[in-house]
Amino acid sequence: MLCMRGVVLPEREEREFWIDGQVLRAGRPPGGRAGREAETIVDGGWLLPGLVDVHTHPGALEPGTPFDEELLRRQLGEHRNAGVLAVRTPGTAQRMPAWVEKDPDLPHVVSAGRWLATPGRFFPGAGRDVSEAELVRAAVEEARASSGWCKVIGDWRLDEPAVPLPLLTAVAEAVHAVGGKVAVHCQTAEGARHAVLAGVDSLEHGMHLDPALLDRMAAQGTAFVPTLSAFGANADAMRAREPSVRRDLWLAGWDAMPGTVRAAHEAGVSVLAGTDSFPCGTVGGEMDWLVRAGIPAEVALGAASWTARSWLGLPGLVDGAPADLVAYTTDPTLDPGALGRPSRIVLRGRVVR
């Protein structure tokens, strides 16, 4: 019988837990169970619900390359080894294999099926290419075949038109009618505007998002996943390019993103942590970018843990929850680098580290 105690975030209360199979139990374990001696695996420090990456694409090194199930297993393992015990995959080259959620050694996966791309709006053949006339039906099909999500490529080139607002609105209404949710890739002002006005559930990237839309996002519950670390990794290379319309639009969008992310938090929008990059298991770096954008450290940590779990319908560290937790010797809100140094990782009631 495994036991642990420590300061639980975000409550900042010292608590004790024990593990009953794959379930977390609050308090001290009941005594008198023959043959089940208690083993304390965490005694002090800081306890978090498992970390979450809400925008990751394991299974292929880049869009357009073949989907590889062995690579999928390895990359999900990279997430797990970093304490990322739940992920959302907003678009992959093929639907998530059934064995993924059955494997006790891998994180919980919330999938959105295949990327849905209308002509000219994605890498050809990287996801599910559909015409605009087919998009609504395809979105419902992917939502039903996945974890309830679908992912639409809402725009592509910075100087080309986005998916029309009436069409994206029809997608959101149809998917919501069957109990699903819609994620939208958007990196142009028009694409972001259409996604918000259509009432989708999450904006992925959101470059060039108009701050005037933030109050509406908050009111209707549209989350913002800015993937700052992915953009930040490319910023220097983009600045080194010869000036062009696309380069200058990209840089203008990137330069505005930290302020937009901070304003989104202040407006009450759920800002969540997603990496959209490799290697997997680097959501701590995204938390660091969120802090640099001006989001309080504890809020940024929640974006990669308890807030993201709640948004995905997963509980935190409460009695009866799945036994998924990560322990640290120092407070990660004061030492963001601590996220890269977990002292203990427990997934589905089993000690991973």
Bin 208: left if φ > 0, else alpha if -120 < ψ < 50, else beta. left
User: Under CATH, to which class is 51-304 assigned?
Assistant: alpha beta
Per DSSP, 134 falls in state G
Per DSSP, 207 falls in state T
* Orientation angle between helical segments 165-177 and 135-145, nearest 10 degrees: 30
57 CB-near residues (< 8 Å, 6+ apart): 63, 89, 90, 91, 92, 276
CA distance 183 to 87: 14
pLDDT tens-place values along the chain, 353 residues long: 899 999 999 999 999 999 999 999 999 888 755 446 789 999 999 999 999 999 999 998 887 788 999 999 999 999 999 999 999 999 998 999 999 999 999 999 999 999 999 999 999 888 999 999 999 999 999 999 999 999 999 999 887 899 999 999 999 999 999 999 999 999 999 999 999 999 999 999 999 999 999 999 999 999 999 999 999 999 999 999 999 988 999 999 999 999 999 999 999 999 999 999 899 999 999 999 999 999 999 999 999 999 999 999 999 999 999 999 999 999 999 987 899 999 999 999 999 98
Which pTM value belongs to this model?
0.96
Length of the chain: 353
Q: What is the pLDDT of residue 34?
A: 42
Q: Supply φ then ψ for residue 327, to 5 degrees.
A: -115, 145
Q: What is the pLDDT of residue 160?
A: 87
CA distance 118 to 175: 17
E strands, the chain, are: 2-8, 13-20, 23-26, 39-49, 51-53, 84-89, 108-111, 115-117, 128-129, 149-153, 181-186, 202-205, 223-225, 325-328, 344-347, 350-351
CATH 3.20.20.140 intervals, the chain: 51-304
With vertex at residue 273, the alpha carbon angle to CA 331 and CA 330, rounded to the nearest 5 degrees, is 10
CATH 2.30.40.10 intervals, the chain: 2-49+315-351
CATH architecture of 2-49+315-351: Roll (2.30)
Question: Is 328:284 a contact under the CB 8 Å cutoff?
Answer: no
Bridge partners for 326 per DSSP: 48, 345
Q: How far is CA 280 from the centre of its chain?
A: 12
Question: Is 155:190 a contact under the CB 8 Å cutoff?
Answer: yes
